[in-house]
A and B are shown apart, each in its own frame.
Chain A
C-alpha cells in the first residue's frame, strides 16, 4: 500500500475535489507558431483509472498529454486555446500558477531521466522544494516502495540514480513523481525505451498506482494499451496534419468493437 498519501504538502489552492473527472479538455487547440498541432479536442478523463492515448506518429498525443500539466509552456512557440479543467478549474486561467499545476499533475517521460544525484536525493528533492516538513527518510522509503523499487535499492540509496538499469531508472522516476503526492500522473510512452521484462514491471506498477492515482499514458504499443488501460482515446490527424480525437471509450469497446473504421484499421495494424 502506498502510505505516501498521508503526507501533508503545503496548502493547496487548486481544489482537488468538485468534479467526477480528473481532467476535462474542452475544445482544446494547441499551436506551434502558426501550425495547429491539435484540433478541437474534447476529452474527459475519469479519476483513479488508467486512460491510454494511442494513435499514429505525429498525431499530437504527446502534445495533448503535455497540455494537461502545462509542460507545453516550456516550448517558446507553443500556445493553446480552449480549456483544460482540473477538478473543474481551468488550468489555463490567468490566475493559475503553472508551477502549482505541475505539482499536482506529475509526469514520467519517455526516456528515464533521473537527476545526476543519489537515489535518495532523486526522490527527496521534489518534496523538499515543495516545502515538505515531515520525515524525509520515511517519505523516500514509501515512495520507493510505491514504485516497487525499494527492495532493489534499499542498500544503495546514496549511489547515483544513473547507476541503475533503464527499467530501475524509470521506476525511480515514478517514485520521484509519487513522492510529492500528485493527483494525476502523466506518462509519456514510459516503457518505450525498456526491454520486455522491465516493461512488464512498469505495467504491473501502473495497475497498483491506479488505486490511488489517475494515470494518463501515451503509448505506441497497442497491446500495452489493451493490457493496462481502462479507457482508450484514439487520435489521428487530418489532411493538414492537425491531430484530433477520433474515438474515445472503454478500452474493451475500442479494441473489440470500435465505432469508427479508422480506429479498427489502426488497431488491427492496417495503417499507422
Chain B
C-alpha cells in the first residue's frame, strides 16, 4: 500500500494501523450483510412453506356422479332452478327435504344456492387425498398413476385451497367445504374491542406517567413494572382473563345484565371477554410506546406553550399529543399485530372449538383465525393442514391490511 507521506511518526503505528482497521470494517460489513440475507431467506422460506400447503393437487371422489343427475339428457349445468329443485327432491330423503324447506323454502333460494344444496347432499364431493405444491409440481406423473390405481372413480384437480368461497364460507366438518368467515369476523370483533379499550387507557396512562406524575419512587416502580408486564407470557393473561372476565364478570361479559346475548354463552365465554383479555395483554405495549413518543416531544414546545399562559391540559392536547401521535400509533400497530396473532390466551378464555354462525354482538360465542388455524393443524387429516395454510394467508393479509390502515393514519399526522 502506498503512503501519502514518506516520513514516519514514531508516536503512531506504521501506516496508522490502516490495513487492520479497514479489514475490521470489511468484516463487520459482511456480517451485517449476512444477517440481512439470512433474514430475507427466512421470510421467503415462510412464504414458500405457506404456499406449499395452500396450493396443490387433490383427488376428489363424488358419491353420485354429476352426469348421472342429468334430467332428460340435459346436464346439471344447463338446468334451470325448477329442474334443479326436482333433481334435489328425487335424490334426497323426504325428511332431509322437509328440514331444508323449514330453514328456507327452496323456491325462495337462488339457483346457485339450490345447486350448492345438490353438491352438499347429493353429489357429496369428498377430497380423498391431497398433495403439497412441491410434490404436485415435481411428481405429477406419479400422482396421476397413484390416483388411477387407488381411486379409479376420483377426479384429479389442481386447486388453490385459498379462494373466494374460502373467505365467505363458515366453518365445516369437511375440509373442502370449510371456510374462515366466522373466524375473520371473530378476529375483527376481538381486535375492535381490544383497540377501543386499550388505546384510550394506554394513551391516558402514558400521558399521566410522562406529563403529570412526579418522579417519586412509587411512580418509578410503576414505570419499571409496566416494562416487565410487556414481557409476561400471554397464557398468563389468558388465565387472568378467565378469572376476571369469564368468571367474576360473567353477568357483564355474557350480556346477562343488559338482557341480551344468547343463553348458550351465559358463562361469559364471549367476544367481549376475549377483547378485554387481549386489551390488558397489549396495554403495556401501548403505554411504553406512548411514553416514548411523549418523551420525544421537545421540551421547547411545552415551554413555548406555557409561556403563552397555557394550562397543562392545553399544552398536552394542542402540542404534546399532536407531536407524539405518530409514535403512539406505531405502538398501536405493534399492539394490533400482537393481539391478532394471539392463540393461547383465547383458548384459555374459551374460544369455541366449532362454531359455524357469525358473531352478532360482543356477547356472541367466538373463534378467531389463529384459533381456527391451531385447530385445523392439530387434526389428523392432511386436507385440514391445507386449509390451515390457506387460513394463514388470510391471517397475514388481515394483519397487513390493519397495519396499512394504521400506517396511513400515522403518515397523515406526521406530514406537517
Please give the residue numbers on chain A whose beta carbons come within 8 Å of chain B beta carbons, in ascending order.
Answer: 69, 71, 74, 76, 99-100, 102-104, 106-107, 109, 111, 113-117, 125-126, 129-130, 160, 173, 176-177, 180
Contacts and interface: CB of A to CB of B under 8 A. Distances in A.
Contacts of B304: 109, 113-115, 173, 176
A109 B303 contact: yes
Given A115-B319, A116-B323, A160-B416, A130 B309 contact: yes
A106 B308 contact: yes
B310 interface: yes
B371 to A, nearest CB: 44
A117 B190 CA distance: 37
7 contacts: A71-B307, A103-B308, A103-B309, A109-B303, A129-B310, A129-B318, A176-B308
Nearest to A76: B215
B308 A177 contact: yes
A125 B311 contact: no
Given A76-B215, A115-B319, A116-B323, A106 B307 contact: yes
B301 A115 contact: yes
A113 B303 contact: yes
B310 A74 contact: no
B398 to A, nearest CB: 34
B306 interface: yes
Nearest to A10: B309
A104 B298 CA distance: 24
B215 to A, nearest CB: 6
A240 to B, nearest CB: 26
A113 B308 contact: no
Given A76-B215, A115-B319, A116-B416, A125 B301 contact: no
Nearest to B308: A126
A129 B303 contact: no
B353 interface: no
B302 A74 contact: yes
Contacts of B215: 76
Contacts of A176: 304, 308
A129 B214 contact: no
A115 B314 CA distance: 13
Given A109-B300, A109-B303, A115-B304, 15 more contacts: A74-B303, A76-B214, A99-B310, A103-B309, A104-B309, A109-B304, A113-B298, A113-B303, A115-B301, A115-B319, A117-B416, A126-B309, A129-B309, A130-B309, A173-B304
Nearest to B309: A103
